[in-house]
Chain A
Amino acid sequence: MGLNLKNLIKGAALGLFPALLFLTSCSRPKSPLDASTIIVWEQEDAQVAPYIDSVFSAFKRLPESKDIRIIRTHYQTEDLRQQFQAASLAGVAPDLIMCPSDTAGLFAVSGFIRPVDGLIDASKYNKAVLQAITLDGHIWGVPVSNGNHLMMFFNKKYVKTAPKNTDELFKFCANEAKAYKLDFCMAFDMGEPFWLMPWLAAFGGWPIDNKTPTLDTPAMRSAINFYLDLKFNKKYAPPECDYNCMDSLFKEGKTAFIINGDWSISGYQQHFKRDFGLALIPKLSQTGLWPAPMVSGKYFMVSSGVKPEKLEMIKRLMDFYTTSDNQIRQFKELQRLPALAEASKAPEITGTEVSRVSMDQISKGRPMSMATEMRAIWDSARNYLGLATSRKLSVEDATRKMQQNADLKISEMNR
C-alpha cells in the first residue's frame, strides 16, 4: 500500500485539529485573581456575612487599599476544613481563612497554615484567646473575636435571680421548678464532652496537660458522677438530650436553665426578648471552684502558600479588621466579644449585661488547646462518657478506658 498523500493530510488534520482545540482550550482565561486580590474563606452564619462584607468594603475605601480586591467565599464548618485541605494540597489555597481554633492544630501540623508571630503584636490581644491559638511556641492565627465559650442562660419568667452556686441552683430545682411544673430544671448536652469540661475544671481537672491526656483522674470521676446524679438521682436534667433537644426544651419553656455557647445569645435574645437572662455557670458548692468553660474565638489563619509579596497586604487587612473600632462594632452588631485587650475595656463593651457576664465567664474559663491530640481526647471522652452515663460501664472503668484509649489513638496517629 503506497503512501497516499490525501490520506496523510486527512490523518494529520484529524489529529492536529483536536490537539489544537485542546491546547487552545487549556490555555485558561486570564483570571482576575492577581497579586492585588485577597481570597478569604469563612464558615460564619448567614447573619454575619453582611458585617464581614462591610468591614472589607471599609478597608477597600482606604486610599492605600483602593486597588485591592477581596473575594469572600462561604463554606459550612466541615466543608471549610476539607476544602482548605484539598485546596492546599492542590496549591490553590485561599490566602486567608476565618474559623475557630479547633482545626488550627490540624492545619498547623500539616503545614497548611503559617505562623503569624511576626505579623501581629501579641501583647495587644487578650491572653486566653491568644493561648488558644498557640502551639509549639508559635501563634497560628490572628484573633478576630473572643469567646466560643459556654455560659448559663435562664428564662426570667421562672427565675428572678440567677443562682450563684450549685446549692442555690439545686434549691431552685427542688422547689420553684417543681411548682412551675417544668419538664426539667436544666438542660445541656450531656453527651458532648465540650459541656463536661466546665464541671471537670470545677472538680479540679482538665483533659490535657501540654499534649498528654489527663482523663483517668479523680476529677473526671467526680464530674461523671455529678452527671449521673443530675440525670438519675435528682432528675433535674433529661436523661437523653442532645444539642437540638436542649435548645428546644429551653425555647419552649420546658426548662428554666440551659448551658449553651455565646454563639446562641442573639438567637435567645430574639426569642425571649425581656425574659432572657444570662449568668455565670454557677460555682460548684462541693469544691468551691468555678466551672471553667473552654475559651477560644474566631481567627484569621494565613495559608502557607501565600507569596511573601502579598503578606504585607494581608497583614494590613487583618490589622484593619481587628482595630479597636471594628472590634467594638463587631460586638454591637454580632454580640461577639473583642479579642483586642484595649477594646475589651471600652465602655460599649463593659456597659451591657451580656458583655459583662460573658467577659466574666471568659475570665473564669481556660483556653482550648489546639493540639491535634485533642481529637483523640474528644473522641475517647465522648464514647466513654456515653457508656458511663448510660450505665453501660462503671465510672471507674469508663475513665480508665477513656485514658487508655486516648493514649492508644494518639500513638496510632503519630506512628
Chain B
Amino acid sequence: MEILYSVYEVLWFVFIVIAGIALIEGYFYYHFQFYDRRWFFPAALLGFPLAGAAGCFAMGLVTEPVRIFLWLLGSEGLIAPFFRHIVKGRSKLAYLLLAPAFIGLALLLVYPFVFEVYLSFSDLKLTTIMQWKNTGYLPFVGLRQYIDVFTTSPLSEVTFWALLGRTLWWTFINVFFHVAGGFTLALLLNNHIRFKGFYRTLLVIPWAMPQVVAVLAMRGEFHAQYGFINIMLGKLAAAYPFLAGLGLGPVQWLSNYPLTTCTLINIWLGIPFMMVVILGGLQSISSSYYDAADIDGASYLQKLRFITIPLIRPVMMPAVTLGTVWTFNNINVIYLVTGQSGGTERADILVSALYKAAFTYNRYSYSAAFAIVIFAILFFVSVFYLKSFDAAKEER
C-alpha cells in the first residue's frame, strides 16, 4: 500500500510539474500575444493577481490573501508594462520555449542564492533555529558574519588567510599537474600506437570510477605499514641503499603529510578528465597544419609550440576554469582521506572548513557568509581566466 502511495505521489509530482509548466507558458503566452490589446492591462492587473492570491489561499500556502494580492499586483504592475513597451511580442516562440528553463533556474539557483545572502546578514544558529521556524524572524546582524569570516576561523590552528593561501596553493598544484599530466598522456594517445583504445580505457578508469571508491582505495595504498606506496619505498630503499641515505623510505603519509597525500590522490583522479578533453582538442586539429609544418622543416617542439598549443587553447580554457572551480571546492578527497585520522586540520581547505562550521558547530549564518566569500573568490578567478583567454584570443 505504501509503495502504491509512493508511486501515486511521484506521478502526482510529475503532474504538478507539467501543470506548472503549462501555467508558466500560458502566462507568458498572454503577455506576448495580447500585449497590444486595449484590455491587456486591466485583464492582466486584475486577473493574474486575483487568480494567484485565490490559488495560494485555496492551497493553504498563505493565510492573508489580500497581502499576496497586493504583492502580485505590484509585480504585475511592472511586468505588464515591460511586455507592452519593451518586449512588444518579439521573439515569442524563443522565449516561450525558454520560459520553463528560466523559471527552473530561478527556483534552483537564484532563490537559494538570494536566501544564502539573506542568511549571511542574519544570525541563524543552533539556538535561533526554532525561533526562525516559529516566527519567520531572524535577527539582522549586518556585516558581523562577514567580519567573523575574515577575523576568525572554523579551524583551531589555521587562520582564514592561511587557509585561503593553502587553498590557492592546493588548487594551483592540482590544476597544474592535471593539465601537465593530461596533456602528456593525450599527446601520447594521439599518436598512432597499437592498443590505443585499451590504454585510453585504462587511463580513464580513475575518472569513471565512483570518487568515493577511488579515494578510499587510494587511501589504503597510502597506509604507513600496509600501503603499496610505502612497501615500494621500503623495497627501493633496501635494494638501493644510497636512496635510503638520501632520505627515501616509508613515511606516515596520513599522519605526517595529509595534504600531500590528498594532493597526490587528487592529481591521480583529475588527470583523466583533462586527458579526455585535451585529446578531443588534439583530434580536432587538422593534419594539414602539421603537413605544412613538416614541409617547412619544423621540429617536433616547434609544431607543439606554434600549432598544437595555440589550437587546443579554446578547449583548454573552459576545462582549466572548470578544473579550478572543482578543485577549489573539492571536499570529497579531503574529507575521505583525512576524515578518520588525527590532525585533520593540516589538510583542510576552505570548503572543508566551511563544512565544519556548518555541520560541527551549526553556525549557519556564519557558514552562509563563508560560502558567499568562497563564491566571490571563485567568481573573480573565473572572470579573470575568461578575460585573459579573451585577451589572448584578441592578440592572435
- Interface on A for B, CB 8 Å cutoff? 1-4, 7-8, 11-12, 14-19, 21-29, 31-32, 71, 88-89, 91, 106, 109-112, 183, 189-192, 238-240, 242-245, 304, 372, 375-376, 379-380, 382-387, 389-390, 392, 401, 405, 409, 412-414
Contact = CB atoms under 8 A, between A and B. Distances in A.
A21 B23 CA distance: 8
B95 to A, nearest CB: 16
10 contacts: A2-B38, A15-B27, A21-B18, A21-B22, A191-B343, A239-B225, A239-B255, A387-B157, A413-B361, A413-B362
A189 B8 CA distance: 47
B130 interface: yes
A23 B2 contact: no
Interface in B58-72: 58-59
A31 B5 CA distance: 8
B252 A240 contact: yes
B58 A1 contact: no
A387 B346 CA distance: 9
A298 B145 CA distance: 37
Interface in B212-232: 223-226
B116 to A, nearest CB: 16
A232 B156 CA distance: 26
Say what secondary structure dominates the interface of chain B.
helix
Interface residues of B, number: 63
B38 A1 contact: yes
A383 B55 contact: no
Contacts of A71: 2
Contacts of B345: 383
A182 B133 CA distance: 57
A7 B127 contact: no
Nearest to B12: A29
A121 to B, nearest CB: 28
B163 to A, nearest CB: 14
B30 A14 contact: yes
A191 B1 contact: no
B294 interface: no
A413 B23 contact: no
A20 B55 CA distance: 9
Interface string B337-371: 00011111110000000001000111100000000
Nearest to B4: A32
Contact of B130 (A29, A31, A110, A405): A110
A376 B155 CA distance: 11
A386 B343 contact: yes
B361 A376 contact: yes
Given A25-B19, A240-B255, A390-B252, 15 more contacts: A1-B36, A7-B34, A11-B34, A16-B51, A19-B51, A21-B19, A21-B23, A22-B22, A25-B18, A111-B129, A111-B133, A379-B361, A382-B342, A383-B155, A383-B345
Contacts of B190: none
B361 A375 contact: yes
B274 interface: no
A244 B55 CA distance: 55
Interface in B237-257: 252, 254-256
A22 to B, nearest CB: 4
A23 B59 contact: yes
A409 B344 CA distance: 17
B9 interface: yes
B334 to A, nearest CB: 14
Contact of B38 (A3, A31, A383): A3
Nearest to A73: B2
Contact of A386 (B25, B27, B341): B341
A390 B256 CA distance: 7
Interface in B106-131: 125-127, 129-130
A194 B363 CA distance: 24
A189 B342 CA distance: 10
A385 B2 contact: no
A29 to B, nearest CB: 6
B379 to A, nearest CB: 27
Contact of A3 (B39, B47, B127, B341): B39
B165 interface: no
Most chain-A Cβ atoms within 10 A of its Cβ — which of B1, B30, B342? B342
A25 B16 contact: yes
A14 B47 CA distance: 12
